[in-house]
Structures are given as C-alpha cells and as structure tokens.
Amino acid sequence: MHNSFISIVSVIENNSDQERLPEYLLHLHKVLEGAFSDYEIIIVNNTYERDFSNVTNKLPDALRQNIFLLNLSSPVNKNHAIVAGLDRANGDYTLIYEPLFYDKPELIVDLYEESIKGVDIVYLKANSRQTKIRYRLFYKIFYWILKKYSDLEIDDRAHDTRIISRRALNSLLRMRENMRYMKAIYSIIGYRTSFIEVEEPIKKDDSSFSEKFRTSLVAITSFTSFLRSLLLWIFITSIVFMVAVLFNAVKVKITNVDIFGTYHEAIPGWTFLVVISSIFFAITCLMLYIMSIYLSNIYQEIKHRPMYLIESVRRF
C-alpha cells in the first residue's frame, strides 16, 4: 500500500456518464482501498441533473464518505469543470480521470507508480486519434501552428487523463485564465512530464465544427504568435506588391508596355491613382501590423500569468 493521499477528479457531462457512475465508483473503491492510505473522489456534475440518489443508494457507506459531488449551477466548458474539481482537490497527488477509462481503474496505480519515479505530471497517450475525414486536415494545421509558433510541448495524442503532483497542481491553479486550453497550460507550468501508452484511441469528438474552430482560435490567439506573424507577412507582401505596381505603372506611362509585355495606351491620371492606392494599401497593412504588436503586448499583460514558477528550493 502506498502511503499517499490521492484525489480523483471526474466530470459528468451526460446521462451515459451518470449511468456508468455506480459501477465505476465500486471498481474505483476496490482499487483505492488496497493501494492508498487515504483518498477522495470528486465528481463534478456538469449537467442539469440534480438527482443522484440512484447512484448513492448502490454504494457502501465506506465509499460514500469519501465522495464529494460538485453540482455546477449550469453546464460550462469541460476545461472549466475540470478546474472546479482541481480547486477542491486536497491530495498529495490529483488524478483527472475520463469516463473512457471507467472500466480500467487499475490505470490509476500505474500512473501513480510512474509519478513517484520523480515525475510531476503523467498522462495517458493514445496510439491513434479517431477523427472524421473532413476534420483531419483541420487538426494537422492546428497542431502545426501550435508547434511552429510557440514553445509549447504539446502531444496531439494525449488523453485528458493524467496524474499531477501537489506542487505542479499548485502552480497550475495559479493560471486563472477564463479562456483555457489545458494542454497548453500543462506545458506552460513545466515540471517533469511523462506518459503511459494505452491502446484506447482518442475518440471522435461530437462537438460541432464551429465549436472546434472557436477552441482552436482560443489556443492560437492565447498561446502562439501566429496572428502577429501572419500580419507581418501580409505587410511584407503588400510592400512587394506596391513596388511591383509602381514599377508597372511607370513602365506603362513611359513605354506603353507593362511588365508582362502587353501593349497599353497610357491614360492621363491612371499612373497617379495606382501609385497613391498602392502606397495607402501598404501604409494600412503597416498600421495593422503595428496595432497587432500593441494588442498582443496588452493581451499578454492583462492575463496576469506569473512571470516564473519555482519548482523547488534546496539547501546544500
């Protein structure tokens, strides 16, 4: 038996999760009683359902006294529901457990034994991702942007199930962002991280494309410099375009032949309009780029992320 206090956080998001809850808790109780000196189970109810009597009536008293049910006033984003459970967790280690693994509570012991080897965060890694064909390119572009335009270490095949040490959890809870992308936040706080590979793939997400798109925008705008870099390239392109148009306009004015070798009769005032339009187009792109820098700096400041996180202090 491990001499540790462990907290288990699970989020209930639909009726299917609730129906499986009694069996899950009974299996969980058997594993936790034999493996840990103390434990607590935090169930975050992210639905409108309030009657859990059909669940509690099937459980022994020894188990019920270790369960805490958090009823949210109304359903929220899944990441916010997870944070509600993490705020309540008191254990030396806290484990976020998905319904996908309800029938494999023994994974809790595997995650814990990996973490006590000196690792603060251990997650389950899928061998594949089940994605609708029309979404595959979307996911590839999304993760490419995250890896290209940020310093984040993000595993695109990581499940939400993971165990977190007390010190890593304390640092994570300091990130009080309303627009949350948990994989990025795990990467920001750092600490030693490892994974355990499992056969279960990441299941198809039933959320709509618009919801996926909003989530991707949150991650890209909050944790990468992609949009600022994009505006920079738009500005550079506008300068190149302006130079090419100016050269073409002057060439037509002088020789009546454009850069493609096509004959044109010069029209009075046309060159002047083209030059003025090109200059103002380039200036507009420059202003947008400068504004994006200011907005990016303001956005970074108002999030109040800590400038650093101390992992540990040692005396020698």
- Residue in the block written with tokens 């806290």: 94
| Same domain, yes or no: 204 and 232 | no
pLDDT at 301: 67
The whole-angstrom separation of Cα 67 and Cα 213 is: 36
Which 3-state string (H, E, C) describes the chain?
Answer: CEEEEEEEEEEECCHHHHHHHHHHHHHHHHHHHHHEEEEEEEEEECCCCCCCHHHHCCCCHHHHCCEEEEECCCCCCHHHHHHHHHHHCCCCEEEECCHHHCCCCCHHHHHHHHHCCCCCEEEEEECCECCCHHHHHHHHHHHHHHHHCCCCCCCCCEEEEEEEEHHHHHHHCCCCCCCCCHHHHHHHHCCCEEEEEECCCECCCCCCHHHHHHHHHHHHHHHCCHHHHHHHHHHHHHHHHHHHHHHHHHHHHHHCECCCCCECCCCCCHHHHHHHHHHHHHHHHHHHHHHHHHHHHHHHHHCCCCCCCCCCCCCC
Q: What are phi and psi of 161, to 5 degrees?
A: -65, 125
| Same domain, yes or no: 165 and 290 | no
| Same domain, yes or no: 40 and 106 | yes
Going by C-alpha positions, the residue among 135, 138, 216 that lies closest to residue 179 is 216
| Same domain, yes or no: 93 and 202 | yes
pLDDT at 258: 76
pLDDT at 305: 63
| Same domain, yes or no: 204 and 253 | no
| Same domain, yes or no: 10 and 128 | yes
| Same domain, yes or no: 160 and 283 | no
Looking at the DSSP bridge assignments, the partners of residue 7 are 40, 94
Going by C-alpha positions, the residue among 152, 132, 282 that lies closest to residue 226 is 152
Going by C-alpha positions, the residue among 54, 47, 106 that lies closest to residue 97 is 106
Going by C-alpha positions, the residue among 147, 139, 113 that lies closest to residue 202 is 139
Specify the number of domains making up the chain: 2
CATH code assigned at 61: 3.90.550.10
Q: Of 223, 239, 272, which one is at a domain's C-terminal end? A: 223
Q: Specify if 311 maps to a domain.
A: no
Sign (positive/negative) of CA torsion 89, 169, 81, 110?
negative
Q: What is the pLDDT along the chain (316 residues), one digit of tens a residue?
A: 788 899 999 988 887 777 788 888 888 888 888 888 888 998 888 888 777 777 777 777 778 888 888 888 888 888 888 888 898 899 899 999 988 888 888 888 889 999 988 899 999 998 887 777 777 788 888 888 888 888 888 888 888 899 999 999 998 888 877 767 888 888 888 889 999 888 888 776 666 677 777 778 778 877 787 877 887 888 888 888 878 878 877 777 778 777 777 776 767 766 677 777 877 777 887 787 777 777 776 776 676 665 544 554 554 5
Q: Specify if 308 maps to a domain.
A: no
pLDDT at 308: 47
Q: Specify if 136 maps to a domain.
A: yes
pLDDT at 149: 84
Domain limits at 16? 2-223
Q: Specify if 200 maps to a domain.
A: yes
| Same domain, yes or no: 217 and 231 | no
| Same domain, yes or no: 237 and 214 | no
Q: Of 223, 253, 273, which one is at a domain's C-terminal end? A: 223
Given strand 121-126, what is the order of strands in its sheet?
67-71, 36-45, 2-12, 93-96, 158-165, 121-126, 193-198
| Same domain, yes or no: 180 and 255 | no
| Same domain, yes or no: 67 and 198 | yes
